[in-house]
Chains A and B, each alone.
Chain A
């Protein structure tokens, strides 16, 4: 027979999974350090690619000027400036990523709490039903 209480809980769970849970459930499966660590690694690669593209675009734009004046320029200073620029950009973006992903993780944890409460209640129901079924089969065996 249908267990109405169980159906209600499962509907709630399914509704969460299809709305907020879509974004929050995958996040909650990570440890905080893993989640933020992965985001920082991703950020490192993206920022590096972005910086390389920016520098390449800059070189392309000032290409003519650079070709004309490269013999006059101190290439060590230019390289140093580019490296400092890269480090600064990386630090700024790492901080921004850290803040964003920490907030996202905290939000997901908070949101998922209710989901797990309902899930554990459902698990308890299943356990109770199993125990009942075992008891019934035990009695039949004794007879």
Chain B
């Protein structure tokens, strides 16, 4: 635990020192993960599928505000749908437009969570998305979380029905109906939307309560709720839910949630202090939870070259690199035989101060 705390402290210091560079790099990584997730699902356009194009777009996203990533992702989805057919592209535009007007405009700051959803579904840990959103954001995170599920299932539908949608024999109206039916009648999608919204709201509700270990309780309750909703869906709806897989991957999501708690919160509830006081207008009931902090020890590895006259440095030149496995000096106890014992120190009473003073005066 101490090692983890030290690691967190170091990360904090590192972030504080290089924030200017780390933030764009993180945005770049998120953008790449999101765009590759989209391409994994609906990479129909050869141009948009090219890693070079994606890298350039991600690089541009790295220097723009973070929310732009989501909108660029939307553009990528529409572009890929266009390669599949006008109907798919029109449906995508309509879907994104409706989501933006009806939901996403209320949660502009939390919309970034949509970038995590494709990757989370591909890694089979979708529960991590609403849980993370509920822990870090506000309850409004449930809106983009729900929308991202709809978008994911839309992309999956396009992937499954790509042959039908690309076929010249299928009529336009048939294609639109195929997509619309695939969306509206997809019970699994609605079940997952429900699970996402409920989990995000519930986790946020618990996390913001005045409870000890609120974050952890939020994570556990969120996971249990997710499993229960999926299980109920499997029992009462026409949805194929693999129970063991759901439980295992939700547990993995819970571990991620706990990791998030460790890095984003880190309160020490064992040292909680409760205070009560009042002023002219209010009574105050204060609960103060101290932060767990540890001073990171700074280990410096020194490179010592034993032979100063040796011009060649480094390992090849015979130099030694000091590390934990290769200490510079071995601890040795040297016993010197037949050596005279060191002379005992003179007692302060034996010193003749008068004489010393006279000597110094003579020098003057």
Q: How large is the interface on A (under 10, 10 to 19, 20 to 34, 35 or more residues)?
A: 10 to 19
**What CA separation (Å) do A54 and B180 show in the bound complex?**
13
Minimal beta-carbon separation of B137 from chain A (angstroms): 15
* Alpha-carbon separation in the docked complex, A46 to B97 (Å): 10
Within 8 A of A (CB), among B156-188: 173, 176-177, 180, 184
Q: Are A53 and B94 in contact (CB under 8 A)?
A: yes
- Binary per-residue interface labels of chain B (180-210) against chain A in the complex, 1 for a CB within 8 Å, 0 otherwise: 1000100000000000000000000000000
Name the segment of A12-20, A55-63, A71-79, A108-116 touching the other chain.
Answer: A55-63
**Given that A50-B98, A53-B94, A53-B97 are known contacts, is A61 also in contact with B180, CB under 8 Å in the complex?**
yes
* A49–B101 touching, CB < 8 Å: yes
- Please tell me if B105 contacts chain A, counting CB pairs below 8 Å: yes
List 10 A-B residue pairs with CB atoms under 8 Å apart, sorted by A's residue number: A47-B101, A49-B101, A50-B101, A50-B102, A53-B101, A54-B98, A57-B94, A57-B98, A61-B176, A100-B106
Q: In the assembled complex, which residues on chain A have CB atoms less than 8 Å from the CB atom of B173? A: 63
Contacts A60-B176, A61-B180, A63-B173: A46 and B94 contacting too (C-beta < 8 A)? no
Please determine whether A46 and B177 come into contact, CB atoms closer than 8 angstroms: no
Number of A-B contacts (CB under 8 A): 26
A123 adjacent to chain B (CB < 8 Å): no
Q: Is the CB of A96 within 8 A of B106?
A: yes
Tell me the smallest distance from the CB of A77 to a CB of chain B, in Å: 24
**CA separation between A47 and B97, bound complex, in Å?**
11
Q: Which A residues touch B98, using CB under 8 A? A: 50, 53-54, 57
Kindly list chain B residues whose C-beta atoms are within 8 Å of the C-beta of A47. 101
Cα distance A96–B98 when bound, in Å? 17
Q: How many residues of B contact A (CB 8 A)?
A: 12
Report B91 CB to chain A, min CB distance, Å.
9
Q: Nearest B residue to A50 by beta-carbon distance?
A: B101
In the complex, A15→B101 CA distance in Å? 33
Q: How far is the CA of A99 from the CA of B102 in the complex (A)?
A: 15
B16 to chain A, nearest CB (A): 15
**Those of B88-142 within 8 Å (CB) of chain A:** 94, 97-98, 101-102, 105-106
A61 to B180 Cα, complex, angstroms: 7
Nearest CB of A to B311, in Å: 50
| A34–B89 CA distance with the chains assembled, in angstroms | 38
**Contacts A53-B94, A53-B97, A57-B94 hold; do A46 and B105 have CB atoms under 8 A apart?**
yes
- Given A57-B94, A63-B173; A46-B106 close (CB under 8 Å): no
Q: Which residue of B lies closest to A100 (CB)?
A: B106
CB distance from A20 to the nearest CB of B (A): 13
> CA separation between A60 and B98, bound complex, in Å?
15
Chain A residue at smallest Cβ distance from B177: A61
Shortest Cβ gap from A104 to chain B (Å):
10
Q: How far is the CA of A18 from the CA of B106 in the complex (A)?
A: 23
Residue of A nearest to B93 (CB): A53
> Which residue in chain B gives the minimum CB-CB distance to A56?
B94
Query: Nearest CB to that of A43 among chain B residues?
Result: B105
Q: In the assembled complex, which residues on chain B have CB atoms less than 8 Å from the CB atom of A61?
A: 176-177, 180, 184
Question: Quick one: closest A residue to B101, CB to CB?
Answer: A50
B197 to chain A, nearest CB (A): 16
Nearest opposing residue in chain A for B95, CB measure: A57
Indicate with 1 or 0, residue by residue over B59-99, a CB within 8 angstroms of chain A CB atoms. 00000000000000000000000000000000000100110
Q: How far, in whole Å, are A57 and B94 apart by their CA atoms in the complex?
A: 8
**A96 partner residues in chain B, CB cutoff 8 A:** 106
Give CA–CA (A93, B102) in the complex, Å. Answer: 8
Contact partners of B94 in chain A: CB under 8 A = 53, 57
Residues of A within 8 A of B102 (CB): 50, 93
Instruction: Find chain B residues with CB under 8 A from A49 CB.
Output: 101
* 10 additional A-B residue pairs with CB within 8 Å, beyond A46-B105, A50-B102, A53-B94: A49-B101, A50-B97, A50-B101, A53-B98, A53-B101, A57-B94, A57-B98, A57-B180, A61-B176, A61-B180
User: Given the complex of chains A and B, what is the CA–CA distance between A54 and B106 in angstroms?
Assistant: 19
CB neighbours of A50 from chain B (8 A) = 97-98, 101-102
Q: In the assembled complex, how far is the CB of residue B89 from the closest CB belonging to chain A, in whole angstroms?
A: 15
What residues of chain B lie closer than 8 Å to A60, measured between beta carbons? 176, 180
Closest to B180 in A: A61
Nearest-neighbour CB distance to chain B for A108, whole angstroms, equals 14
Distance in angstroms from A60 CB to nearest chain B CB is: 6
User: What is the CB-to-nearest-CB distance from A26 to chain B, in angstroms, rounded to a whole number?
Assistant: 14
